Amino acid sequence: MDCLFCKIANKEIPVELLFEDDLVVAFKDIKPIVPIHILIIPKEHIESVADMSDKHETLAGRMIMVAKKLAEQFDIAGGGYKLLFRVKSNGGQEVPHVHLHLLGGGKMSENIRVA
Ligand code: AMP
Ligand code: ZN
């Protein structure tokens, strides 16, 4: 499977993993848009949230809980942060493997417009 995030999850591409368990891995975004920008991804290849089904309920919950714990670890939980799933083309998703963005380290503007 020629998927960048699968390669990161199965360690074909070495990146510093901030977290790993049976279902997910987390690592720093290569082009951070805020001071703390972390991606939480499933080990399983799923293209987008739109491709998830009820069997992925545990996985979906795990991704959010891992993001919450990383926010605490990186000391952004008190002030707050943003969790973002971009979904397919209209949502601005560029990498076709589900990923949850953990964004923090300052006050963020909304910046959501339909082009
Ligand atoms: P999205 O637009 O939601 O699909 O976000 C994809 C994100 O993946 C972007 O924020 C990219 O900066 C990030 N990204 C792309 N390649 C890598 C990589 N090799 N390591 C870490 N993050 C990456
Ligand atoms: Zn993949």
Domains of the chain as residue ranges with CATH: 4-104 (3.30.428.10)
**Which residues place a Cβ less than 5 A from the ion ligand 2?**
3, 5-6, 45, 97
For residue 108, the number of C-alpha atoms closer than 13 Å in the C-beta half-sphere is 19
pLDDT in tens, 59-105: 999 999 999 999 999 999 999 999 999 999 999 999 999 999 999 99
Query: Whole-model pTM above 0.85?
Result: yes
CA dihedral (37, 42, 70, 113) positive or negative: positive
Q: For residues 5 and 97, is the Cβ–Cβ distance under 8 A? A: yes
Query: 40 CA to middle of ligand 2, Å?
Result: 13
Closest ligand by atom to 44 CA: 2
CB 27 within 8 A of CB 16: yes
Which residues approach ligand 1 with their CB closer than 6 A?
Answer: 4, 15, 29-31, 39, 86, 92-95
Q: Is the pLDDT of residue 115 over 90?
A: no
